[in-house]
Every structure is written in C-alpha cells, then in structure tokens.
C-alpha cells in the first residue's frame, strides 16, 4: 500500500470507522535514519489507533525506528515480511526475510527491547512455489519466541521472481486453511488473516477461525464498506453509522485545513475518497469533477457542490455531460 495509505487516506478512513486499526504505508528504515522524519511520521491525532509499518532488516536500525514510532505516538510497530516487490528485495527486506527467520527474530527482539507498544509481523505463508506448512509454522514459532505475539498472515505465497507485485496478489493461490492451521497450532498467538477478502460475509466466516482480518485494496477502492464495520463487527448502533455526504463535507473541511496549515493541494487528499460513491448513480461524473485539474483553484466545498450537481444531472438531447471550465 505504498503511496496509498498516507495520513490523508487514514484520516478519511477514520471518519468511516472509529474502531478498526489503521496501518501506515510501509516506511523504510533508511527513510527514517537518513531522511525527513516528520514527513514520514507525522499523522493526525484523529487516526488513533494507528500502527507504523516498517521495512528493514538491520536490527539496530529497526530498533531506532521503532523508538521513533513510539515517540511520535504510534500504537503499534509492524515489521513487513510480506512485500514481494523486487525493489524491496534489493533492500533485503519484505517477503525475502521469511527465508531468514533467525534474522527476523533478532529484528523483533531489538524492537521489543526498546518500545512498550506491541511489535507485530506481517508475512506470507511461504515463498516461491514451496507449500510445506512446516516452513511458515517454524517461521512463526521462531519469531514468536523473540517476543512477537501478533502475526498478520497473507494467505498466499510470495513468488520472488517472475511476478509483479500485482500478480503476486492474484497468481499464487489463496490457502486460507494454512492460516487457520497456524491459529490452531498457536492458540495463544493473535493470528490475523489477509488476502482476497472482499465482503462482510467473508470477514465473518474468517472470524470463526482466526482473531482478525486485514483489508487492503478492497477497503481503499470501496471505502463506504468501512462505514458498516463498527456496526457489523463491534455491535455499534446503526443510528451511529456515518452519513456519506457528511463524510465528504468533513473531508472538505480537512482539505481546507491542510491547505492553510501545510500548503497541501486538496487534489492530493481528494484522490483517496474517489471510491466514496462507488455503485451510486452518477458516481463516475462525481469522480470526474473531483479529479479535474481545472478545479484546483476552487475551495473544496465549491468542488463538492459542482460534483453533486454533475452527479445528479442527466444527459439531454444525446449530448454527454462535460465538466465546465472554471
């Protein structure tokens, strides 16, 4: 989810669900050790609870970055051992770390020793084409002994050569039973499943076998689904569920604040909410307005008005609707 779940995206998602744990995009240790720490770690207080996801393989660097994450107020530090991209592999972290469980254990212990917040690990069920359950079982066993009690398990192997990251989310087969078996074998660990889950019914089915479910791209592209989660999974009253237009209004307020306080162009924020009207009549026209560079100098509330006017209009005389120049 690099370049996707930035702080603006997380602010938007928090308006939709008060209860779900949000995760940052992966931040590399190099970016924090040698780069602009505030740019990478600054977040909105409203995002809590929020976890910092780190990418790295040097225990000392990860300990330093975990300490920074705790100082900045993150509720959890997560080590990514699941990303299969070749760029990440060149940095010797991500999914390729699963081949080195002793190193992952050292990384986890280094972080656990310097922070009081939970240290968790996200990983795959295997690498390349090997489907030996013992591989992931031994990985979880060795890493848990170092102090990790929460494992977020993408229920696919990571093929380290020959597939793009997108293909790695689609081609290796999903094997949910492997994740369920991990939970049965490690009942005292928190096992969270990830991969290919797109409906409330699928989430509820998985919760019969594991402790939680992580959602990624489906939640991003269909964000209104999040608005039902507090009711569906935490038992909140339906009356407390958010209103779609009110969410959009609040995002307009946020865009205006970001522009005033940080000089953030509202279009960089609005891109995260383009799925908000997914499935509704006029959604495509609404998205066109929010994506139109000609609107860039308008106040976000004015753009919202234009977007709703366009979404509720209908073509006449066979002519396609077009966004008017500003």
Q: pLDDT by residue (tens digit) across 207-250?
A: 999 999 999 999 999 999 999 999 999 999 888 888 999 999 99
Q: Where are the beta strands (DSSP E) in the chain?
A: 22-23, 27-28, 50-55, 76-81, 119-127, 150-158, 190-194, 212-214
Percent of the chain with pLDDT strictly greater than 90: 82
Average pLDDT of the chain? 92
Which pLDDT score is estimated for 318?
A: 39
**pLDDT over threshold 70, residue 324:** no
- Which domains are assigned to the chain? 7-236 (3.20.20.70), 244-312 (1.20.120)
Structure confidence at residue 321 (pLDDT)? 45
pLDDT tier at 323 (50, 70, 90 boundaries)?
A: very low
pLDDT above 70 covers what percent of the chain?
Answer: 94
**172 or 321, which is more confident:** 172
Q: Does 9 qualify as catalytic in the annotation? A: no
The whole-angstrom separation of Cα 182 and Cα 153 is 10
Position 315 scores a pLDDT of: 55
Average pLDDT of the residues in 293-322: 80
Residue 269, pLDDT score: 97
Model confidence at 89, pLDDT cuts 50, 70, 90, reads low
pLDDT value, residue 193: 98
Q: For 280-297, how does the pLDDT look when each residue is reduced to its tens digit (9 = 90+)?
A: 999 999 999 999 999 999
Q: What is the pLDDT of residues 8-67, one digit of tens each?
A: 999 999 999 999 999 999 999 999 999 999 999 999 999 999 999 999 999 999 999 999
Question: Which is more confident, 84 or 149?
Answer: 149
Predicted TM-score (pTM) of this structure: 0.91
Q: What pLDDT is attached to residue 319?
A: 42
pLDDT in the model for residue 116: 98
Residue 260 burial (CB count, 10 A) = 9
pLDDT band at 192 (very low <50, low <70, confident <90, very high): very high
Contact 35, 42 (CB under 8 A): no
Catalytic residue among 81, 83, 148, 252: 83
Helices (H), 3-119: 7-16, 29-34, 37-41, 59-71, 86-90, 101-112
Mean local confidence (pLDDT), 102-109 = 98
Half-sphere exposure of 260 (CA within 13 A, CB side): 8
Distance between CA 137 and CA 132 in Å, rounded? 9
3-state secondary structure of 145: coil
Average pLDDT over residues 118-124: 97
Q: Which of 82-91, 127-136, 307-316 has the lowest mean pLDDT?
A: 82-91
Separation CA 10–CA 20 (nearest Å): 11
pLDDT band at 262 (very low <50, low <70, confident <90, very high): very high
Q: What is the spatial distance between Cα 119 and Cα 150, in angstroms, rounded to a whole number?
A: 8
Give the single-character DSSP code of 20.
Answer: S
Phi, psi of 84, deg, nearest 5: -100, 5
Mean pLDDT of 122-134: 94
């Amino acid at each position: 989810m690099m370049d996707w779940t930035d702080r603006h995206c997380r602010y938007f998602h928090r308006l939709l669900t008060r209860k779900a744990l949000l995760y940052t995009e992966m931040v590399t240790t190099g970016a924090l050790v040698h780069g602009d720490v505030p740019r990478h770690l600054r977040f909105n207080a409203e995002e809590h609870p929020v976890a910092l996801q780190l990418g790295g393989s040097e225990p000392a660097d990860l300990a330093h970055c975990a300490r920074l994450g705790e100082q900045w107020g993150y509720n959890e530090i997560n080590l990514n051992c699941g990303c299969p991209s070749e760029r990440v592999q060149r940095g010797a972290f991500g999914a390729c770390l699963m081949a080195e469980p002793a190193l992952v254990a050292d990384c986890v212990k280094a972080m656990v020793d310097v922070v009081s917040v939970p240290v968790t690990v996200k990983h795959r069920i295997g690498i390349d084409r090997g489907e030996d359950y013992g591989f992931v079982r031994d990985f979880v066993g060795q890493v848990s002994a170092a102090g990790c009690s929460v494992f977020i398990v993408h229920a696919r192997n990571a093929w380290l050569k020959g597939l793009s990251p997108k293909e790695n989310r689609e081609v290796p087969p999903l094997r949910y039973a492997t994740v369920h078996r991990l939970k049965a074998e490690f009942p005292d660990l928190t096992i969270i499943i990830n991969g290919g889950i797109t409906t409330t019914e699928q989430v509820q089915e998985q919760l019969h076998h594991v402790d939680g479910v992580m959602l990624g791209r489906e939640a991003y592209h269909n964000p209104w689904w999040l608005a039902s989660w507090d009711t569906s999974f935490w038992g909140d009253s339906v009356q407390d569920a958010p209103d779609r237009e009110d969410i959009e209004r609040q995002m307009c307020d946020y865009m205006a604040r970001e522009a005033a306080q940080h000089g953030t162009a509202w279009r960089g924020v609005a891109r995260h909410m383009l799925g908000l009207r997914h499935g509704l009549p006029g959604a495509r026209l609404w998205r066109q307005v929010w994506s139109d560079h000609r609107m860039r100098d308008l106040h976000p509330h004015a753009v919202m008005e234009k977007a709703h006017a366009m979404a509720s209009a209908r073509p006449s005389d066979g002519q396609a609707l077009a966004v008017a120049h500003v």
